[in-house]
Amino acid sequence: MNRATLTLLALLLICALSLVAAQQSARRLFILQERAQIEERKLNQEWLRLEYEQRNLSKSARIRDVARNQLHMSPISPERTLYLKEAK
């Protein structure tokens, strides 16, 4: 074989190895992108769940139940109302 053929063969091998490395890199990046998208979907689902939970916890009926049961509060009644007169 002459020198030109060996040079072309070496260049062909380098190009082939470069192509394989580029394809492997593209596969690795694609896998990382898929994992990031899966993680994004999980985080979005968690966010929606937390928003739903926050809405439920902030409802007035829930607040009223917590005030009555945990804080032992009761609604205002006319019997318990104190009226103050202003001194003139």
How far apart (Å, rounded) are the C-alpha atoms in residues 37 and 43?
10
User: Which distant-in-sequence residues (6+ apart) come within 8 Å of 67 by Cβ?
Assistant: 73
pTM: 0.56
| CA 80 to chain centroid | 49
Rounded distance, CA 48 to CA 40, Å?
A: 12
pLDDT digits (tens, 9 = 90+) for 1-52: 799 999 999 999 999 999 999 999 999 999 999 999 999 999 999 999 999 9
CA dihedral sign, ordered 22, 24, 27, 32 = negative
